Structures are given as structure tokens and as C-alpha cells.
Structure 1
Amino acid sequence: MTVALTQPRGWRLRLPARLDGRIGWGTVGTLAVIAVWQLVVGAGVVPSYVLPTPLQIVDAWVGALDLIAVNLPATLRTAGLGYLAGNAVAIALAALAGLWSPAEGLVSRLAIAAHCIPTIALAPILLVVAPGELPGIILAALGVFFATLVGMLTGMRYPDGRAVEAHHAFGGRRLTELVKVKLPYGMPGMFSGLLLGVPGAIVGALMSEYLMVGRGMGGAITAAQEQLDAARVWALCLTCALVSALAFAAVGALQRAVLPWLAETSVSYAAAGARGASAHPVRDTVLGLLVFLSVACTLWWGALQVFGISPYLGKTPLDVLEYLVVGPAALAHTAELLGYLGTTLGNAALGLALGTLVAVVLAAAFCAVPALREAAMPTVLLARSVPLLAMIPAIALALGSGLLTVVALTALLSFFPTLITVMNALDAVPRDISDLARAYNASRADVTFRIRAVYAVPAVFQSLRITATGALLGAIVAEWLASPGGIGYFVLRSASESKFVALWSAVVVVTLVSMVLYVIVVAVETAVRRRIL
């Protein structure tokens, strides 16, 4: 099926000339949010020590200008270097997978493993082995790497079959197929990843400063929290959010400049099975897993040797194997870890389902009523850019330290990537199909549920590839900082008691479970594609 990337002709409210356009509605929506915020907090519905009023935040921001001028450049430098490094590696690996198809499985598995490593547990190790701002650069790179790689691989995996056949018929080689056929189909997904990675890079940099280094904007936020200065905390966080939103807009402008053909060209999605199934799927799967495990364990052991990590802190794959499988207390260790993990999986599933459902509903509403989209998107993008890690204490004060805080955080982490990805897909509904539906007097509901929903399904699964694992990691972070339960609490307790083999074992188990979740999402996506596309 061919998808023409064009702007939908949804219903549009007629506006006065001075308000017509995205800037006018965006300004109206932002001012409305600020006004409601001021009224709600000013009336005492929400205590000001949890959510200060906008006027209090502005006053705190003015008082913190000198602090921001000193610390913001350091955070931006770390985030920028991580953003460039993570995306460069992602693009290079996607090109390798497109050039040599057997590498795609290994690249995907290694990328999933890197994405699924709980960074909050990795941070103390990076502090020991990496000097200066390198821990922040690594965390920022991890925050952008996976989204860009998944977006490129998804687009490159399903090019227009006619283009591929024509290329082969004219004697094209693999390199020219990559450059002229696959990369153009991967670039929209690449830019989706670049957009999603902007706040991810800033959050990664803030995480390093917040947890380890104590400098930059993360260090300033930490100091404000220790002083119980809620207004300054919000002022600093919103400053980071504003910078992130500006960078997001810049990447969007770059996308429109580099890919002007998005509004005219077609992208074709085909079922995975259409490319030809393996003659020996079980054998190929087992061999792929063995190769992945061999490479991953070699990299793990090699990193311990290269960075000179002491055996007391750095544990090898054999240490984890003994702790979980072959040691005398392995059964008890595994049962304890899986018990904590079950709690985390339940929390993450609730947040993932809630965030995804709300995002899909809002995306459909924004597509049907462009004025609503234009009014709400500035606030949505700004909220997406807020460093949620720094806001967990405020969320915990509002909702309490427990299930609600964990579910709220995981829902927020799932909501924004899904909303952006699904909106892009709804914008890609072919104009000729919409015109044909109108010619046959199809209602707006018919167009939404019978046409646009079909085009949104691949986008939902593309976002689930990111959010399914991201929700699990978000639940771990929330449990670490604001909930006395789950695998996050287990990791925190293990680190505080210097039980590093338990800490490494938890990281391995979470990584493997996240990879299983990713494989399940891909399997369901493949089955759905075969049925509807």
C-alpha cells in the first residue's frame, strides 16, 4: 500500500485574520494554559510548594538569570556533543544494516540492549570510569541513539517494491540501492528520531549533572531542591524546556528544508513477510541470538578491561551467571529479583497503556480540528521538554510516593513519542483517498476510523518499539526516587549496600526483559501489517 506524505484537509475553524495561522492559535492556547494555571494555584487548589504560580516562577527566573548564564552553556555543550555522537552512530549502523541485510538483526539487538540498559543504574559506574563531562555525553547519546536508529530501520525496511524492482532491473548495486532507494524511505523516520532525541539529549545531560557531577543546570536544580525553593526549581526546569523546544523547532525547520518532497512523494509499507521468509527461521533465530550474546559478552568484558574497573565494582558475565543460575543461593536470588520485577512490569504496563491511549485519542482530535492542534502543540512540546527526572519529587508531593507517581511518570514518557509519531502518520494520509471518500459522502467518523486509523497503525507500533522499553525504564527511575518497591528499589538498595553483583544482575535481567518486550512488539506489528496492509 502506498502512503503519500501530504497535509490532510481536515475541518478548519474560520478565524479573524489576526488570529489565522499556527502562531495565533499557539499564542492563544499558551496564554489560556498560563491563565488557568495562575487561577488554579492562586485559588489554593494545588499548593504553591508543589506547583508555584507562573508569576512566582517568572520572579524566580529573573532572580536566577546569573545562575542560568553560568550553568546553561555547560549543559548545552554536553547535550549537543551527546546528540551529535548518538545520532552519528545510529545513522552509521542503520546504513550498515541497509547495505548488508544480515547485519540488521545484530544491529537491532545491540541497539535494543544499549537502549534497555537502565541508565540510572549505569550512572554510578560511568562516574567511576569516565572523566569530566564524558558520563553526560554518554547518557545524552543513549537518549537519542535508539529513536533515530529505529526510525531509519523502520523506513528502510519497507521501501516501495516497484522502486526496488526497477533498481534491480537496471542492474543497480547494493550501495546505489541504499543511497537511492532505502535512504530516502528511511529519512522521514530518521528525522522523527532526531526530533524525539532533542529533549532526550538534554535530559541525559541533566541526569549526569543531577545524579553525579553536580554542575550545569542539573546541579543548579539539585541545589534549588535542597533549599526547598520550588519556584526556582520550576524556573530552571522550564528554562531547559524552552531551550529544548527551540532546538526541536530548529530540527523541524531543517526537516522541511532537507525533505521538501515529503508533501508530494509516496512511501510504501509492505508486510514483513512479503520480503521473503527464511527457510530455517528457528535455526536463524538461534544463531542470531548466539552471535548477539557472544558479541555482547565480549564487549562487556572488554569494557571492564579497557576502563580498568576493579573486580569489586565491575562484575563479569560469569559473576552474574553464578549469582542467578549456578551459585548455591541462585534460586533465592532469582526469585527475589523476579518478585521486584513483577511489580515494576505491572506499573509500567499501566502507564504505557494510559499514555498510549491518551496520545492516540489526542492525535485524532488534533487531526480533526487543526485549530485545537495549533493551540495545544506549543504547550505539549514545552511539557515534553521538561526534565521529568527533576520533577519526580514535585510529582510525588502531588500524588504521593507510590503507584500513582510511577504510573504518571511512565504515562508521560509513553505519551509524547506516541503523540508525535501518530500525528506524523495521520498527516500522511493520501489526499486522493480522502477526496474519494468525500466523493462517496463518507462521514468524518468514517474517514477517521476506516482510512486514517489504518495509516496510524504502523506509527503506533513504531512508537511502541520505543515506549514499551522506555516505560519500563521510567518505572525503574520513579521507583528509585519516589516509590518503596519494584526493581528500582532493588537497584537502589543493592547500590547503597555495595551489593554490586546484585546490581549488575538486575541490569542484565531488565535488559533481557526489555529485549523480550521489543521482540513481542515487533512480532505483533508484523502480524498486524500482514493483515491490514
Structure 2
Amino acid sequence: MTVASAAASSGPGPSPSPSRPTRPGGPGSGSPGSGSPATQWLGTVGRTVRARLLAPTLTLVGVGALWALVGAWQPAYVPGPRAVVAALVDNWSMVRANASATLSGAFKGWVWGNAAAVALVLLGAFLPRTERPILRISVVVYCLPAMAIGPVLQALLPGNGASVAIAALSVFFNTLLAGVLGVRTAPRAALDVVHAAGGRPVTQTLRVRLRASLPSLFAGLRIAAPAAMLGAILGEYLGADRGLGNAIITTQQQMDLALTWALALVATVIAGAGYVLTGLVGRLVAPWAGETVDLTPSLDPDADARRRNADRPAPLRWARTAGAAVTSAAAVVGLWWGLIIVFDLSDLVAKTPVDVWEYMVSAPKAGEHRSELFSALGTTLQEAAIGFVAGTAIAMALVTLLALWPAASQALMPATILLQSVPLTVFTPLMLTMFGSGLTATVVIAGIIVFFPTLVTVLDAVRGTPRPMVDLIRASGGGRFAILVKAQLPTSVPALLSAARISAPRALIGALVAEWLATGRGIGFLMLRSTATYKYDQLWSAVVLTTFVMVLANAVVTSLERLSHRRLGSA
């Protein structure tokens, strides 16, 4: 999910502009025929409630009715609401105990991940030269699939440490980017005033930049709430002795479908509550925040540097890009090695870059090792790619529908925004029950994970099409379809590519989760087998290979996005 969608759904927006004073009952009164201030206030509140709550309420009612219909049609796969509620009531003590364990891990991860992100935001604000290296390393962290490092964390950390660590990693990237973007949006005039008054850069940061970053930062923290819940449950999938993730797997294996759905519903409610509560706190702390905060431009850490170097010779630009890539790789390797040394991790479990190099390149059986790794990776990438394409295609089809019939957007978007707060990977065991353990289940899981961020990001771009372009097509006699084809879809290409950068790692995570839990193939299953057989050199090699592929995919999509911006004249 993007931070734009988080802020867009953040509860009551800015209050309406005050009307000009008029006589009671006049055009500016709260309701016809009444000039009472109380009546006007009640009228404003009523209109706000209808605008903000009516559509989501109707959407929830519609989803509930659809659920009941599907449950009556296919009770073997989808238990109805009444059966799920009954299972929840009958097993409440078990559900509460497991929910408490998951919530504890999610909260700890939320605190640690956000604390690390905010600390790095402050470091970048006080020392601007550190911002680009921080962002480059954070991109690698973002491209590191949680399920890929889960077995490593499980082997290294005691208790629910793996669950907490994955939750922390799940929230880190979005919060970091939100904070960096907020710091960058500090008004230049305010910074100049502080400087003219004798304020130092530290004073500018404390009094201007940090305040300016609050709306964006809270938008990131809002997304972090369901992300932490998802990370904690993923960690529990790896083999925790308690928690919602462990309970979901157990009830699925016992074929207690109603209780499995009840557990997934509880996870959804907790994630949604965190999403809403964080948004409310953000509105209280930063009430001046606008309706949307768009993070997608800041996903490229070198965008500003490229704009500054645009007039330099091409060989020099290429050399600087290559140097940045080498520096980032060296920093990641140094951090990897340093963590092993600082925490004195066991040689049996923690493998160094030299160990991975030996396993994949210089060992006598390195060729066999590479063949096994690449074969498993190819299976996973194929499944994730099919799901990615399917999810993107369905999202674009729905974008077309909503652009041609705007009234449908008001009915469907509340449900879409609501579902973005749902940790969708929680429903992976349910998807496996419904679709089996073959290719279909993995594609459906990856496609659903891709669908929502793509829909929201691209639809937001379609709605933001420059008005002059739309007016010109209308003046030429073009209708809604012509506007869509000639203006809205072309200008939304950068947003589509931004969404691809967000959703591609998620599609891979979905495929890895499916492989880990049921399919028995792909690099996810290879990691599971490596953990069970103590082949940690193979496990670390699989993690490195998967991460490298994701970083490479991110770089390719970033280049395409940059090209699309240039073609549209926006970069």
C-alpha cells in the first residue's frame, strides 16, 4: 500500500471552507430556512458523517452479504458469518491467548522498526550527506523478502525473536521513506526565516523540518500498523509455538475451516484497529495535514542527484551510477559481516559473504549448488510473475471501469481502502484450502497482494490527470473513453511503474509463503528444507540470490519509471 492511500483514507478531512455571513435562511446557512448556529453546525456534521461513513458502512454491509451468499453456495470452502462467529465464541480463550502473543510480537516489532527508521531520518536531517547512502541500503532491505530471511532469524533468535524481527523489517522501509519525504517538504521560506534570525542548521531541523515531516511520518506509521501485524504472523508461520500464525496453520491442518476463518478475521480486526488508531493520533498531532501524501517519487534515492547531474557527459553519469552501486553493495556486505562479528553469531548458523561465495562459486560442487538454486528460483519467479501480471491486469481493468463510471468509484473504493489494511498473507492457508497446493493457489495469492496497491496508486494518478489535457480533449469532442485513452492512462504510466516497485517484492513474498506452507517446490521450499537439514550455507545462498534478483528488478523498474517521467516531461 502506498502512503498516498493511507492519508487519503485517514478519517475526516479538512473542515469545509467557512461560508460568507448571510442572513438566516440565506444561501450560506447550514440548512434552508434556519439561521441558528447550532442548526448550521448540526447540518455540517450530518453532511460530513454521510460523506465519510455512509459509503464505508454500505460497503461493509455489502461485503457481509456477499460473504453469506458465497458461504451458502460453497460451505466446504467458505464458512458463513454465523459459523465463523460461533467458532470464535466457542474457542475464545484459545483465540485470545494466541492473539495476545501475536499482538505482543507485532507491537515490539512496530516499536523497534519505527524507532530505527525515525533515528535514520533524524541522522539524514542533521547530516544531509548521509541521506543517500541510507536510502540505498534501505532499498536493499525493502527488497529482502521477509520469508527469505525468516529461517535465518529463526535459527539465530530465541523465542519469538524471529517474529519481532520480521515485524520490524516490515515497517522500517515505509516509515523511513515517509520521514525523509516529510523532511524534504519543509518550506524554504520558513528555513530562510530561521537562518536570517541566526539559527543554525540544527535549529532549522528542529523547528521547521521535523514539524513539516509529521503529516508524512504519521501516514507511514499508519501503514506500519498492519505491516507489523503481517510481519509477526509471517514469523509465526516459520514455526512459533503460539500466536495467530501458528494457530491458523494448526486449524487448517485439522480442517477446522470455521475456526481458521475466525482467526484470520481477528488478525484483520487487530490490523485495521491499529491502522485507524494511528491515523487518529496523526490527525491530533498534525491537524494541518492535507488529504494525501504521495511517497512514490522518493522511492528513488538518487533522483535528486541525477537532476543535478543531468547536463554532465554521459560517461561521467554512468561512472557515478556504477560507483554508487558498488558503494552500496560494499556497505551491505560490510553491514552483514559486521553484524555477525558484533553479535558473535554461531559459525554453524551465521554464514559470511565468503561462505556464500565458496558455496556458489569456488567449492568443488559449486556447479551443482548453483543448478539447484537457480532451478528452484526459476520456479518461484515464474509463479510470482504470473501472479504479478494477473493482479496488475485486473487492477488496470478496474481502473478503466472506475474512470469510465466515476459513480462506481464511490461504491468500490471504500472497500479497497479498507482491504489495504488487511494483512492479506494471513489468508494464504485459506487460499491453499480453496485452490489446492498447485500453481493456481500461488498465482491467486501473489495476484491479490499485487492488486490493491496497483489499483489505488494508478487510480490516484488517473484522477490527477492535468485539467488542461482533459479540457482540450473535451473541446475536441472527445468523451470519457477518449479522455481515458489519450490522457489519463498515458499520464498514469509512472504511477503504474511506482506501484510495480511496491508490489513486485510482495508478489514474491506471497509465492514464498505458499511454497513454504504447502506447494513443496520453489526456493521457498528449498529454504524450508535447508533449515530442517541444517544446510545453512545453502540457506544463506538462497537468501542472497533472492535478494539480488529483487534488487535487480527494482533497478530495472526504476529505470523504466525514470524514462516514463522524461517522456512525459516531468523529470
> Taking structure 2 as the reference length, what is the TM-score of the superposition?
0.77
Aligned to 2:154: 127
Partner in structure 1 of residue 42 of structure 2: none
Provide the rounded CA distance (Å) in 1 between the counterparts of 2:319 and 2:471: 48
Alignment of 1:47-86 (within 5 A): 48-86=75-113
1:276 aligns with 2:276: no
Partner of 1:26: 56
In structure 2, the residue matched to 1:484 is: 520
Displacement of 1:333: 1.8
| Residues paired across the two proteins, number | 517
**Offset at residue 241 of structure 1 (A):** 0.5
How many angstroms does 1:412 deviate by? 1.5
Equivalent residue, structure 2, for 1:475: 511
Shift of 1:34: 2.2
Query: Which residue does 1:251 correspond to in 2?
Result: 278
* Percent identical residues: 34
Q: Is 2:295 the partner of 1:262?
A: no
Contact 1:340 1:485 survives alignment (8 Å) = yes
How big is the shift at 1:52?
Answer: 1.0
Cα offset, 1:63, TM superposition? 1.6
The offset of 1:243, in angstroms, is 2.0
Cα deviation, residue 337, structure 1:
1.5
Distance in 2, Cα, partners of 1:101 & 1:519: 23
Per-residue CA deviation, residues 174-228 of structure 1 (Å, 9 max, x unaligned), is 6677678877886665455334332211011122233333223333333423432
**Residue-by-residue CA offset, 1:488-524 (whole Å, 9 max, x unaligned):** 2222232233221111101011111111111111111
Check the 8 A contact 1:402/1:483 in 2, yes or no: yes
Question: Retained in 2: the 8 A contact 1:61–1:235?
Answer: yes
Partner AA of 2:539 in structure 1:
L
Q: By how many angstroms is 1:451 displaced?
A: 5.2
CA distance in 2, matches of 1:400, 1:343: 17
Distance in structure 2 (CA, Å) of the matches to 1:365 and 1:179: 46
- What residue in structure 2 maps to residue 11 of structure 1? none
Structure 1 residue runs of 5 or longer lacking an equivalent are 8-15
2:360 counterpart residue number = 324
Alignment of 1:105-120 (within 5 A): 105-120=132-147
Structure 2: distance between partners of 1:330 and 1:458: 41
SS in structure 2 opposite 1:480?
helix
Shift of 1:319: 0.8
* C-alpha separation in 2, matches of 1:351 and 1:192: 28
User: Which residue of 1 is the match for residue 251 of structure 2?
Assistant: 224
Contact in 1 for aligned 2:379/2:521 (Cα 8 Å)? yes
- Residue 265 of structure 2 corresponds to 238
- The verdict on how the C-alpha distance between 1:392 and 1:509 changes in structure 2, with shifts beyond 3 A counting, is same
Q: 1:269 to 1:429 in 2, by over 3 A?
A: farther
Residues 188 and 406 of structure 1, relative CA distance in 2, 3 Å threshold = farther
- Aligned pair partner of 2:240 in 207, 213, 220: 213
1:477–1:234 CA distance, 2 compared to 1 (3 A): same
- Counterpart residue number, 2:330: 294
Cα separation, 2, equivalents of 1:175 and 1:443: 54
The answer to whether residue 130 in structure 2 is matched with residue 103 in structure 1 is yes
Q: How far has the Cα of 1:388 moved from its partner?
A: 4.0
Residues in 2 aligned to 1:204 and 1:265: alpha-carbon distance in whole angstroms: 24
Which has the higher Rg, Structure 1 or Structure 2? 2
- Tell me if structure 1 keeps the 8 A contact 2:249–2:429: no
Q: 1:464 aligns with which of 478, 485, 500?
A: 500
- Structure with bigger RCO (C-alpha 8 Å, 6+ apart): 1
How far the C-alpha of 1:434 sits from its partner, in A, is 6.9
Superposition RMSD on alpha carbons, in Å? 4.0
Stretch moving more, 113-122 or 322-331: 113-122
Question: For residues 363 and 515 of structure 1, do their structure 2 counterparts lie closer, same or farther at Cα, with a shift above 3 Å needed?
Answer: same
Residue correspondence of structure 1 range 165-184 to structure 2 within 5 A: none
Structure 2 unaligned blocks of 5 or more:
14-45
Partner residue, 1:336: 372
The letter of the residue matching 1:475 is A
Residue identity matched to 1:206 = I
Alpha-carbon distance between aligned partners in 2 of 1:155 and 1:361, rounded to the nearest angstrom: 33
Are the structure 2 counterparts of residues 394 and 320 from structure 1 closer, same or farther at C-alpha, using a change threshold of 3 Å? same
Q: Deviations over 1:282-319 (max 9, x none)?
A: 33233333333333223222322343332222211111
TM-score, normalization: structure 1? 0.82
Segment drifting more, 393-402 vs 19-28: 19-28
